Amino acid sequence: MESIKNLKEYLGKEVELGGWIYNFRSSGKIMFLQLRDGSGFIQCVVEKEKINEEKWNNLQKINIEASIKLKGIVKEDKRSETGFEISVTDFDILNYSNEDYPISKKEHGVDFLMDNRHLWLRSRRQWAIQKIRNTVINATYEYFQKEGFTKIDSPILTANACEGTTELFEIDYFGRPAYLSQSGQLYLEAAIFSVGKCFDFGPVFRAEKSKTRRHLTEFWMMDAEMAFYDYIDNMRVQEELITHIVEKVLENNRKELELLERNIEPLEKIKPPFIVKTHAEVVNELRAMGSDIKEYDDMGGDDETMLTKKYDKPIFVTKYPKEVKAFYMKPDPDDPKRVLCSDLLAPEGYGEIIGGSQREEDYDKLLARINEMKLDPKVFSWYLDLRKYGSVPHSGFGYGLERIVAWICGLEHIRESIPFPRTLQRLEP
C-alpha cells in the first residue's frame, strides 16, 4: 500500500491506496471520491464502465467516512491541490460507514465538536494541527540531541509539589498524600549531577480552576535543566530551541499552515535575538497602556495579551517578584525582592509559552525558603540533598507543548492543540 504523499513517483503508473472517503459525489456514470489516508488527500475517479457491476452497485451504498482499499492509475490534474488524481481500476469497500456521521460540512459549535472529538480528529483542520504538533515534538528532540542533552524520564506520581500547592491533583492510594506531577523539573535537577544537561517530555497535571483559552488540566511539558548555566545562558537555550522549532514547522508543514489559514509572515520573523525586558519595565509599559498591574503583581492573562500584541518577536520577561514565583528560584543578588527568572511570551497576543529560572543552589537558603512558604521540608529532603553533595549553579525551563502549538497554528483556544483535551468540564471522549 502506498501513501498519498508519495504519488508523484507513480505518475502514469498504478498504485494501491487505503483510506477513508471524506466526501463524494456522483454524476450518474462517474463517482468522484475524496480520499484521505492520513498522509494526504486525493480525488479518485470511478467510471461505471471500467468496474464490474456488483462493485459499482455497492459503491452507490457508501456513506461519508466509508473505508476503502483501491487501485488506480495516477494522473496529472493541474486543477486539484495535489496536482494529481486517481483513475480507479479496482476497489474493495471495507466498511460502508453509517449514514448518521455526526460531523458535516455545516458549522458546528465547539462543544458539539469536542463531544465528538474522537471523530472530529479526522477533519482536515485537526489533521493539520496534529501534524504540526508532531513536528514540534520532533524538532524538540532533535534540538536537544544535537546539543548533547540526555533525555531523562521523570515520574508522574510524586510526594512533593513542584509549582505551589493550589493546583495539585491529590491521589488517594499510598496511605499518605501523593500527587500527579506538575513538572518534572525537580527530578531533572537531580539528574544534571549525572548527565550535565537533560530534558524530559511528558504529561503533567494542574488542577486549574481557571477556564481560559490558555489552560488545560492535563498537558504536555518539556522540562530542560543545565548544570553551570545561569539565567542568561538559560534564555539563550530557549531562544535557539524556539527558533529551531519554528524553522522546522516552516520547512515541513507549509501545506498544513495554509490549510489553517495561518499567516506565516510573523513566524518567519522568529529569529534571535528575542526581546528581553525586566518585569519592572513591563509593569511600567503595561500601566502606560491602561493596565492596573502593580509593581509586585504577577502578570494577568489580559496583560500578556496586551503586551505581546505590540511585538512581533517573543519576549523574555525577567526578574519577577519572588512572591509570585516558585520556592526554588534564586533571588536576584541586586534586589532580594526579585528572582533570577524569565518567562518567555509568544507574540500576537499568545503570551507565556515557557517558564524558567536559575535555581537556588545553597542548602540553607533553599531550606529557609521552603519553610517560609510553609512547604513540608520532609518531602523535599531528597531535593535538599542535591545542595549538600557537590551543589553547582544551574538553571532550567519548561515549555507547554499545547501553548506552542496553539501559537504556531494560530489557534484561538489551546484545547484544539491536544488530541483529547482535559479541562475542568471535560473528561470525555
- Report the interface residues with ligand 4AD, using CB under 6 A: 162-163, 182-183, 185, 206, 208, 215-216, 219, 221, 223, 352-356, 396-400, 402-403
Closer residue to ligand 4AD in complex, CB, 41/316: 316
Closer residue to Mg ion in complex, CB, 314/355: 355
Query: Cβ(20)–Cβ(68) under 8 Å?
Result: yes
230 binds, among Mg ion, ligand 4AD, none (CB under 5 to 8 A by kind): none
43 binds, among ligand 4AD, Mg ion, none (CB under 5 to 8 A by kind): none
Contact between 321 and Mg ion per CB under 5 A: no
Bridge partners for 287 per DSSP: none
Q: Please name the amino acid found at residue 403.
A: R
Closer residue to ligand 4AD in complex, CB, 65/218: 218
Closer residue to Mg ion in complex, CB, 162/267: 162
Residues 6+ apart with CB under 8 A from 240: 143, 147, 272
- Calculate ∠ Cα 97-99-104, nearest 5°: 100
Q: Smallest gap, in angstroms, from Cβ of residue 251 to ligand 4AD?
A: 23
Q: Smallest gap, in angstroms, from Cβ of residue 184 to ligand 4AD?
A: 7
Q: Smallest gap, in angstroms, from Cβ of residue 260 to ligand 4AD?
A: 20
400 binds, among ligand 4AD, Mg ion, none (CB under 5 to 8 A by kind): ligand 4AD
Query: Cβ(125)–Cβ(257) under 8 Å?
Result: no
262 binds, among ligand 4AD, Mg ion, none (CB under 5 to 8 A by kind): none
Q: Smallest gap, in angstroms, from Cβ of residue 403 to ligand 4AD?
A: 4
Closer residue to ligand 4AD in complex, CB, 185/308: 185
Residue with cell 484545547: 415
Closer residue to Mg ion in complex, CB, 119/275: 275
Q: Smallest gap, in angstroms, from Cβ of residue 182 to ligand 4AD?
A: 6
Residues 347-366 that bind Mg ion (CB under 5 A): 355
Closer residue to ligand 4AD in complex, CB, 91/205: 205
* Nearest residue to the partner Mg ion, using Cβ: 355
Query: Nearest to residue 344, comparing CAs of 238, 231, 212?
Result: 238
Cell numbers of 61, please? 451504498
Number of residues that bind Mg ion (CB under 5 A): 1
Beta strand 275-278 with 315-318 is parallel
Q: Smallest gap, in angstroms, from Cβ of residue 31 to ligand 4AD?
A: 45
Query: Cβ(170)–Cβ(177) under 8 Å?
Result: yes
242 binds, among Mg ion, ligand 4AD, none (CB under 5 to 8 A by kind): none
Q: Smallest gap, in angstroms, from Cβ of residue 200 to ligand 4AD?
A: 9
Q: Smallest gap, in angstroms, from Cβ of residue 250 to Mg ion?
A: 27
416 binds, among ligand 4AD, Mg ion, none (CB under 5 to 8 A by kind): none
Closer residue to ligand 4AD in complex, CB, 43/308: 308
Closer residue to ligand 4AD in complex, CB, 319/403: 403
Query: Nearest to residue 214, comparing CAs of 409, 17, 402, 396?
Result: 402
Closer residue to ligand 4AD in complex, CB, 19/184: 184
- Calculate ∠ Cα 163-167-170, nearest 5°: 105
Q: Smallest gap, in angstroms, from Cβ of residue 152 to ligand 4AD?
A: 12
Residues 166-195 that bind Mg ion (CB under 5 A): none
163 binds, among ligand 4AD, Mg ion, none (CB under 5 to 8 A by kind): ligand 4AD
Q: Smallest gap, in angstroms, from Cβ of residue 327 to ligand 4AD?
A: 11
Task: Provide the binding-site residues for Mg ion, judged by CB under 5 A.
Answer: 355
